[in-house]
Structures are given as C-alpha cells and as structure tokens.
Structure 1
Amino acid sequence: MALEVEHLTGGYSQLPVLKDVSFNVQPGELVGLIGLNGAGKSTTINHVIGLLRPFSGSIILNGQNLQENAAAYKRQIAYVPETPILYDELTLKEHLELTMLAYGLDRDLTWQKAHQLLKIFRLDNKLDWFPANFSKGMKQKVMIVSAFMTDAKLFIVDEPFYGLDPLAVHDLLNLIEEKKAQGAGILMSTHVLDTAQRYCDRFILLAHGQVKAHGTLKELQQKAAGAGETLDDIYLRLARDESDE
C-alpha cells in the first residue's frame, strides 16, 4: 500500500493551481518533489496533509481516502513544515507531550524514542526551554523530533535543510534512511538538488501545477536525452523551458 494521488486538481478559493496531478509514494522510498517557486509544490503538500480540499481527484493512503475518512488518513502522516510552527507558551517537553496526545501514542515507549532523537539533535538538555529561546535551526529540529518520534506511515518533509547546520542535515538524512528501512514512505520538497540526487529514490518535477516529469534519475536522464546529466541539469532545463512559455 502507498500514497496514491490521482488526477488531483486543486488550489485556493476557485483558482486551480494544480491541474490533473498524479503520483505515488511507495513504502520504503524517498520521493523528491522538485520545482521552481510557484510550480505547485506547497499547494501539493497542503492537499496531501489535508489543509486544502481538492476540486477533483483523490488522495488515498493505505486504503484510507482523505475526502471520505480524514481522521483515519491523517493518523498515518507526520509533517515537517518549511517554517517551524511552535506555541510560544509551551516548553519543548510540552510540545512533545502534545504530539503524543494528538497521535494517541504510548507515552513511555514514545518518550524513549523522543529522548534518543533529542540527543541526536542536541536538544536533550533543553526540555524546559520555550520557543523564544530557540534559534531557527533549533526550532526546525523540534519539528523533526516531533514528527519522527511517531509511527507515521508517510512523512511529508517541506524544505527541511534550510536553517540546519551540516551535522543536523547529516543526522536528518540518517533518520530518513532509518524510517525508509522500517517501511515508511517520505515525500520531500527541496531545492538542495545535489542532496536530493544522492538520497531520493524517485523524483516528481512540477511546473505550472502539472507533473512535467517523474521517475528515477536514470529515467529522467533518458527522457531528457542526457545520459550524463545531473538532477541540477535537468532542473535548470525545466526552469528555462518554463521561462520561455
């Protein structure tokens, strides 16, 4: 089973930003969502996490249809937003406890996972800190810990590398590999293409709200008739093609 997005048309108000978008994320794989600013990446993610209602099409995760059973669908996902979202009046410890309550997690077992993640991201001595005390990178780490301590079947990670130091980036990538090995799927939006090329199993290239290309790097190279091209080369060609339209 997997995430299946089929013929998705959607956007904000009555304006269709996405036009007949279809893709999937299989268990145990990392899929990179690639595109220029305004291509539809954030709109796609907002539909997948249930913040926007599709005009048409379907979004199904492991047999649960977002439109028909939103609660069962959302229990399977965890989300790391591009901009950290924290409550000013809650400590780090209280943020984690709120996440445990929201997902209905076993408190003792989940705290064991949380402590391991806090140590990895060097937050283990900051449980009593409030968001005002955290840097941008530290806030991002809080969001990562909150998401990855869950047992989600699908992780949606939006531009996760901005604000993270190189060690934290390395730790996050290791964590993604661990979740993949456990059978979770990951959908990641990023502009850090050299990292995406090394770690993603497949790619979805968006432009003007449509899927312009999808597949492994080798498949994208074959479609672009450029056997030795990097993901960056393919992306830049897409960008030039967009600017000419």
Structure 2
Amino acid sequence: MVLKIEHLVGGYSQIPVLKDINFEVHEGELVGLIGLNGAGKSTTINHIIGLLTPQKGKITINGKTVYQDSEAYKKQIAYIPELPVLYPELTLKEHINLTIMAYHLDPDQAWQRANQLLKTFRLANKLEWFPDNFSKGMKQKVMIVCAFLTDAQLYIIDEPFLGLDPLATDDLLKLIKAQTARGAAVLMSTHVLDTAEKYCDRFVLLHDGRVQTQGNLETLQTQYPDLGTSLSDIYLGLARAGEKDD
C-alpha cells in the first residue's frame, strides 16, 4: 500500500478533531474522502502532508513516516489544495521551475511534461503571467500543472472541481486516471458525489472526526440497503442519521 493511517488522533488544539482514524490507499487506486463540512477531511489531509503533528497514531507513505526522513516523505506527495496557493511575485514559468527544483526533477524531461500539461489546460501562452492576472479557475489549473509535473507516489487533491470549467474537469480526471494506471495512489476530497461515484475505486466517509464507513460502492450498498443505491443517497442518509445522533 502507498498510504496507511493507523489510529490517527489529532487536530489544531488539545481537543482532537480526529478520533482514531484508520484507512489505506493502495497503488493504482483513487479513494474519495467524503464528509460534511467539519467532518475532518481537511484536518486529515493536513496531517498527511505534515502540516499538523498527530497527538496519537501513525501515518506512513510507502512505509516511511515524516519523522524518519521529512524530505523523502514529502517528495512522495503532490498536493492540490482547495484554494490555490501561488507566489504573487513569481510568473507561471517560475512556479514550474520552482517545482522542478523542489522535486529534483530533470529539467528537460520536466519541461517536456510541463508543455504538454500547459497545452492541455490552455495555459501555454501564459508563462510570463503573474498570479494576479489569473482567474480562480486558471490559478487552480496552475496548481494542477505543478502537481502532475511530478512523479509523486501519492496525489492528495482537495475539492479539485471548484472553479474548474467542464473541459478542465474532464482533463483533470483523465490525468488522475493516467497516474493511477502507472501505479500512483490518489486521495481526493470532494462534495461532487456523482463524479466521485463514477471515478473513485473506494470511499472513506467521515463524520465528526471518525470513519463512519468505507469501501467500494457495492460494499456500501450492501451495508446500507435501505438508504438507496447511489453514493449520494447513501451519503445523505448517513449524514442525516449522524446529525440526529449528535
């Protein structure tokens, strides 16, 4: 497996947001991380990428923890945040060069890949533009280009469809499919359940900092036969039941 989370307890203060989280993401697999706002999705992601320190539990990527070798651990990850994070003083070209240096990529090969991605996302003529010149959707595309420029073992993608037009959404999904085909693992947080149902191999449903359930769609349908057959029906049924229990 690529990502393994064991008994993760953590958050932003002494009061944990995450309460004994356990799940895995395997090679060649796209896993959807699903949950209401405040369920713990972003907190889980921030722990995986090393921005937060677990209070308890363990996170490994290909058997390595961030404490054993921080650089080696983080080089295995490519992260696309929900809100684009760009340097206002750097052009698109300079963002790409920064990514190449950060991941120690071969410049010629990386730029060959970058040019393909720039063409795909219709940014090829924007290399000298600064972030202030980009729309929200274009900024998101810059983050996508930089992430998929790498040969990461684990792609973490947080609400990627916000701000993307339908063509860019389709291009992103094709990129994800190509990466899982080469054996990379992808963890994607999203509220777009119809797309998640169509493309994800498995789902991890969070509620109140816990894994409420996980599995592929067939498993969820078997576990909750009274909630419906679609991911949306099952998710909404569990979310409403969870709110009643709170």
TM class, shorter-chain normalised? over 0.9
Checking the alignment, whether the CA contact within 8 Å between 1:40 and 1:209 is kept in structure 2 is yes
1:80 aligns with 80
Aligned AA for 1:107? P
Checking the alignment, whether the CA contact within 8 Å between 1:58 and 1:67 is kept in structure 2 is no
Aligned AA for 1:139? K
CA distance in 2, matches of 1:227, 1:107: 51
Checking the alignment, whether the CA contact within 8 Å between 2:227 and 2:237 is kept in structure 1 is no
1:141 aligns with 141
Question: How many angstroms does 1:227 deviate by?
Answer: 8.4
Gapped runs of 5+ residues in structure 1?
A: none
Checking the alignment, whether the CA contact within 8 Å between 2:228 and 2:234 is kept in structure 1 is no
Question: How many angstroms does 1:49 deviate by?
Answer: 0.6
CA distance in 2, matches of 1:172, 1:186: 12
CA distance in 2, matches of 1:14, 1:178: 41
CA distance in 1, matches of 2:25, 2:70: 19
2:13 aligns with 13
Write out per-residue CA displacement over residues 58-87 of structure 1, whole angstroms, 9 at most, x where no aligned residue.
000111112332221111000000000001
Gapped runs of 5+ residues in structure 2?
A: none
Aligned AA for 1:12? Y
| 4+ long deviations beyond 3 Å | none
Question: How many angstroms does 1:14 deviate by?
Answer: 1.1
Q: How many residues align?
A: 245
Aligned AA for 1:15? I
SS at structure 1 position matched to 2:98:
helix
CA distance in 1, matches of 2:206, 2:18: 10
Give the % identical residues: 64
**5 Å matches for 1:200-219?**
200-219=200-219
CA distance in 1, matches of 2:237, 2:67: 36
TM-score, length of structure 1 as denominator length: 0.98
2:89 aligns with 89
SS at structure 1 position matched to 2:79:
strand
CA distance in 2, matches of 1:108, 1:14: 47
Write out per-residue CA displacement over residues 157-190 of structure 1, whole angstroms, 9 at most, x where no aligned residue.
0000000000000000000000010100000000
Checking the alignment, whether the CA contact within 8 Å between 1:218 and 1:227 is kept in structure 2 is no
Question: How many angstroms does 1:226 deviate by?
Answer: 4.1
SS at structure 1 position matched to 2:17:
strand
Q: Is 56-65 or 187-196 further displaced after alignment? A: 56-65
SS at structure 2 position matched to 1:79:
strand
